[in-house]
Structure 1
């Protein structure tokens, strides 16, 4: 699973969108600066930790605050919903009807049995996108949000000893396809092939001195 992720305000924009929208990138920088030093946590019943999400809008893209995890019957889902297995989407492609890109500069996983947290990033510390599927949800007070779940795949060999799963990363050239192509098994299979092109660029760094990481993640 993707336990948490971060967005460093010092990012470069080279890895996100083939035609990066200035308003989207500026919005990300503002949000990241306001949340500097904090990892992104799933939104919960008592905490609205809305995070920036890139979604298709008309002929382009837009940035909107979104809820990480699904809302069911007015409250956060009782089943795990912050991540969705790519294999499940291949079997049930109906879940691909609505898609988004999660901007990030790194994600975090705990290695077992050592219980040491590790940060995964691209080699040049660039901003990158993670594939997500979305659906609308409402809180108990009737407020409506876009809810998102990060799509996960098997990790390549050089990362699997730390964690056996990783987000499906979306290369720049595939971003518009992921956001706008017709829903179906083809789009998730193409996304997996595109994501594999970034495998060798993913680095992993232990965070052994960060004993409070688990408390901040959830």
Structure 2
């Protein structure tokens, strides 16, 4: 699963990186993106005859859904079933996008405590998650989902799922219509996976109201246990 991530690069940087024309309406950085938040996406646009940097509500809402609340349950699409799922297959065939990210979060329970971890490229380079988009309602609200796949390598110690990450040389094929599902959905190679590190971070990221670069800092050191009380 991918239920929380960070995307902090500027509009100008994302335009450059993805060779896209921005149609964003004022979107700032977020170190704690949560479901239903507006997020930057990159997609092909027939009306602009170009690749555009756009904004979408995180949580895909199929055209037949009664209201936007359906999107809260559809922030992720499983790569194993996305080509046949009634909710996701139409977008997989014709409406694919890239979701710019710096990294994503997962939590590991240790007894009664949960430790937050941040997965990100060790060299600070950007990530592009494989995404889908759809337009909902008479106003054409743009919504999106992030594809997930089975976790690989050391990432399995944190969670059994991870976002489907696309290297730069696969962006064009993903954004185009058609293509062979097996090729489009193949996971990272071991070398590409090795570039991602797992960092423990502050527990504050667990609250969606918290935001800012401090969320990516290491957790504070554990306080020593109090000395046992003595009777004399």
The two structures have a TM-score, normalised by structure 1, of 0.77
CA–CA separation in structure 1 for the residues paired with 2:187 and 2:11: 22
Partner in structure 1 of residue 2 of structure 2: 2
Contact 2:97–2:131 (CA under 8 A) maintained in structure 1: yes
Contact 1:169–1:198 (CA under 8 A) maintained in structure 2: no
Partner in structure 1 of residue 194 of structure 2: 200
- CA shift, 1:123, in A, is 2.2
Contact 1:84–1:149 (CA under 8 A) maintained in structure 2: yes
1:103–1:83 CA distance, 2 compared to 1 (3 A): same
The aligned runs of 1:96-107 (5 Å cut-off) are 96-97=92-93, 98-107=95-104
CA–CA separation in structure 2 for the residues paired with 1:181 and 1:205: 36
Contact 1:174–1:194 (CA under 8 A) maintained in structure 2: no
How many residue pairs align between the two structures? 198
1:217–1:103 CA distance, 2 compared to 1 (3 A): farther
User: Does residue 1:215 correspond to 2:207, yes or no?
Assistant: yes
Between Structure 1 and Structure 2, the one with more helix by share is 1
1:158–1:12 CA distance, 2 compared to 1 (3 A): farther
Runs of 4+ with >4 A deviation:
10-13, 16-19, 90-95
The two structures have a TM-score, normalised by structure 2, of 0.73
Contact 2:103–2:118 (CA under 8 A) maintained in structure 1: yes
Contact 2:6–2:33 (CA under 8 A) maintained in structure 1: yes
Contact 1:12–1:127 (CA under 8 A) maintained in structure 2: no
User: Does residue 1:21 correspond to 2:19, yes or no?
Assistant: yes
Contact 2:149–2:187 (CA under 8 A) maintained in structure 1: no
Partner in structure 1 of residue 57 of structure 2: 67
Partner in structure 2 of residue 156 of structure 1: 152
What's the secondary structure of 1:76's corresponding residue?
Answer: helix
Bigger Rg, structure 1 or 2? 2
Contact 1:99–1:132 (CA under 8 A) maintained in structure 2: yes
* Structure with more relative contact order (C-alpha pairs < 8 Å, separation 6 or more): 1
Partner in structure 2 of residue 135 of structure 1: 134
Provide structure 2 residue ranges, at least 5 long, that are not aligned to the other structure.
211-232
CA–CA separation in structure 1 for the residues paired with 2:17 and 2:117: 31
